[in-house]
């Protein structure tokens, strides 16, 4: 009799705490026992139409978390062995969820769930972190342990001369048991490889910019990387100063020709040109010359307005 009561008690306890998740081969089924009504998202997942793998992942994980909470709440009513078996079962379900959804993403659902790297960065920060971590692991696998995708942009991801070999390894990269990309989804692996290739391209472009030949009007010619050193060179600075002086003298000569609009007997008409250092010098020279000759100076504005110089 006592054994029968004990069995009834165990069946009643199991009925109260049991929550079952059934994951089909396509990863789209979520079924709950009558003790806990299914959420509204579950039928849509079971139907399979238009359900994003990330949403399905979150829905399943939510139910797994709920089961874990039930185990935690009822731990005092279980033996240690029962509690550990339950937790181990949840861990197995979690691993099965990851494997099933990964297979689902690798099938016909892959195009429907595909997102660009910008979309992932904006909407799914955790997934972006997964891509960058995978990229870092692949860099270590392909380039060596001393390299990382997180290296400063001034540090090359590959030794000079090895870029083509590394690029070819990335082109031929495929997920195989034991390598970094084996357990990743196709989308995550694709974006991780693209991130690495983009970094290799940027490094190579920067190297080419450093050795790209450039020339200066002073006659110097050399690699782009030496440009800053050239512009501070004393020879270049002397050339710059000579060019500046030449332009000043040419502008001053032009201002001297234009500053006097016309001359009449005893009167010099000065054109009010745009104020520049050269015009200022030319105007002062014209005024001094007119006063020395006893002539009167009249200024002519652009509008034709006349003003006397006192």
**Token code pair at residue 29:** 């089924």
Question: How high is the pLDDT of residue 22?
Answer: 39
Percent of the chain exceeding pLDDT 70 equals 74
Percent of the chain exceeding pLDDT 90 equals 9
Question: How high is the pLDDT of residue 83?
Answer: 84
Q: What angle do CA 294, 297, 299 make, to 5 degrees?
A: 175
Catalogue the long-range contacts made by 46-54 (C-beta closer than 8 Å, 24 or more residues apart).
Answer: 50/112, 52/112, 52/113, 53/27, 53/101, 53/104, 53/105, 53/109, 53/113, 54/113, 54/124, 54/127
Q: Give 107's Cβ-side CA count (13 Å radius).
A: 12
Does residue 278 surpass a pLDDT of 50? Answer: yes
Question: How high is the pLDDT of residue 291?
Answer: 85
CB atoms within 10 A of CB 285: 14
Checking DSSP bridges between strand 267-271 and strand 296-300, what pairing results, if any?
A: parallel
Q: Which of the two residues, 1 and 230, has the higher pLDDT score?
A: 230
Please state the rounded mean pLDDT for residues 256-273.
83
Q: What is the pLDDT of residues 122-143, one digit of tens each?
A: 888 888 999 999 999 999 998 8
Q: Which of the two residues, 224 and 148, has the higher pLDDT score?
A: 148
Q: What is the pLDDT of residues 75-118, one digit of tens each?
A: 888 888 888 888 888 888 877 777 666 655 555 555 567 888 88
Q: In a 3-state reduction of DSSP, which class is residue 38?
A: coil
Does residue 295 surpass a pLDDT of 50? Answer: yes
Alpha-helical segments (H) within the chain? 2-17, 41-47, 53-73, 80-105, 110-113, 117-123, 125-143, 163-171, 186-211, 227-231, 234-258, 277-292
Dihedral of CA atoms 161, 165, 171, 172 in degrees, nearest 10, equals -170
Residue 23: what are its φ and ψ, rounded to 5°? -110, 115
Does residue 162 surpass a pLDDT of 70? Answer: yes
Q: What is the pLDDT of residues 21-62, one digit of tens each?
A: 434 444 444 434 444 444 444 433 333 344 556 677 777 888
Q: What angle do CA 111, 117, 120 make, to 5 degrees?
A: 85
Using CA atoms, how far apart are residues 39 and 21, in angstroms rounded to an integer?
Answer: 13
How many residues are listed for the chain in this entry?
310
Please state the rounded mean pLDDT for residues 278-302.
85
Does residue 193 surpass a pLDDT of 90? Answer: yes
């Amino acid at each position: 009799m006592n054994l029968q009561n004990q069995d009834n008690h165990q069946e009643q306890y199991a009925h109260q705490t049991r929550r079952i998740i059934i994951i089909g081969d396509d990863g789209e089924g979520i079924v709950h026992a009558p003790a806990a009504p299914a959420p509204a998202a579950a039928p849509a997942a079971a139907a399979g139409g238009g359900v994003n793998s990330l949403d399905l992942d979150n829905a399943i994980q939510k139910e797994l978390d709920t089961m874990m909470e039930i185990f935690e709440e009822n731990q005092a009513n279980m033996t240690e062995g029962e509690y550990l078996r339950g937790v181990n079962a949840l861990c197995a379900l979690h691993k099965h969820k990851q494997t099933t959804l990964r297979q689902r993403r690798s099938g016909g659902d892959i195009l429907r769930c595909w997102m660009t790297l910008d979309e992932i960065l904006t909407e799914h920060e955790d997934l972006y972190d997964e891509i960058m971590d995978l990229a870092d692991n692949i860099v270590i696998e392909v380039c060596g342990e001393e390299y990382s995708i997180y290296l400063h942009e001034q540090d090359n991801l590959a030794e000079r001369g090895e870029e083509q070999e590394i690029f070819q390894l990335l082109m031929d990269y495929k997920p195989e048991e034991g390598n970094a990309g084996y357990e990743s989804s196709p989308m995550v692996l694709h974006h991780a490889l693209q991130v690495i290739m983009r970094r290799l391209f940027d490094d190579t472009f920067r190297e080419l910019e450093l050795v790209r030949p450039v020339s200066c009007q002073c006659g110097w010619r050399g690699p782009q990387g030496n440009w800053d050193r050239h512009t501070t060179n004393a020879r270049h600075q002397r050339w710059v100063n000579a060019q500046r002086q030449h332009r000043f003298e040419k502008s001053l000569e032009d201002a001297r020709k234009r500053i006097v609009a016309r001359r009449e007997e005893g009167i010099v008409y000065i054109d009010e040109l745009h104020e520049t250092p050269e015009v200022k010098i030319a105007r002062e020279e014209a005024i001094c010359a007119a006063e020395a000759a006893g002539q009167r100076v009249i200024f002519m504005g652009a509008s034709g307005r006349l003003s006397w110089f006192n």
